Amino acid sequence: MNRKQKFLPRRALGWKYDLPKSHEIPEPHPDSRYLLPSPNHINEAFLELPRSTLTVRGIGIIGGTLMLAINVTWLLFIIYLMLAQNLQIGTPLILACFGFATLMSWLIIPTIRMDIELPRDEPIRFNRLRRKVYFYQYHFDRLHLFSRQRWGIRPVVYDWDDLVAEACSVYAPMGNGGLIENVVISVIKPGTEEVIDRLFFTHDIEQGKQYWALAQLFMQQGPQALPEFVHPPRDWNDDSQLSPIHCIAPRVQWPTAIDIESRTAPAAEYSR
């Protein structure tokens, strides 16, 4: 169920600090008044938190399609000038035009495909009875634009005690000042400092702190330790609760075996 083992840098890009370890006392205590969206589901066995790689849906579909149309249009126009108008263009310029068009397509197509295929929710299930965490993980590969094997949902499972939450902050050329803050979860190989996987958690550090504290309280003490949530949970598979652009995205559908495992206790629990 897990990815082929690989080793990543010990610290995530833009690392600022680690959040409290999985066994430590959570800080700060979650305040449900500011927690939105609320957890998808809570019971004695598991806590499911919502997650979304994209903050805004539709930009990739609309903007990407428009840019791709412009890219193809000007390339066809150049071909038209060459064939119909007998325009003489040197070979280096022709290669440059086709190379630029190919590069733009290579950048745009994955953005469109991700916006269309990325699930409307990418939940994480924390199973306290198994001490495992299940990630509804979407994989993509920009080098293989049209591959079916390298794109799509492949859930991964890790031990709770091997997870470390990292707060990160990086600057990028953006209109909002360029500051991008998020929280990622690193999977540490037991007994070492080697990172074997790193997964996105939240787009906001404060939200990441709240969600991570919820996970800690649940895994350490159970559902009774969680606050009473002000906002009701959202059913991400219910189209009536989502915007039209979100309804285009695929529904959440866990593989049957992982779905059952992530929601239940180990067999030993049933025999007691």
The residues spanned by each domain of the chain are 15-53+121-241+255-270, 59-117
* pLDDT 10s digits, 31-60: 777 788 999 999 999 999 999 998 888 888
pLDDT of residue 269: 53
Question: Angle at the Cα of 126 (from 120 to 128), degrees rounded to 5?
Answer: 160
Q: What is the mean pLDDT of residues 108-118?
A: 91
Strand 163-171 to 15-18 pairing:
antiparallel
Beta carbons of 11 and 166 less than 8 angstroms apart = yes
Lowest-confidence pick of 25-29, 163-167, 219-223, 243-247? 25-29
More confident residue, 168 or 142: 168
C-alpha–C-alpha distance, residues 156 and 138, integer Å = 10
The two tokens of residue 152 are 């799509």
pLDDT at 106 over 90: no
pLDDT at 164 over 90: yes
C-alpha–C-alpha distance, residues 158 and 162, integer Å = 7
Give the amino acid at 234. R
At 166, give phi and psi (nearest 5°). Answer: -120, 130
User: Minimal CA–CA distance to 102: which of 80, 72, 147?
Assistant: 72
Beta carbons of 71 and 101 less than 8 angstroms apart = yes
Question: pLDDT band for position 87 (50/70/90)?
Answer: low
* pLDDT 10s digits, 226-272: 998 988 898 999 888 888 888 889 999 999 999 999 999 997 554 44
Q: What is the mean pLDDT of residues 205-211?
A: 93
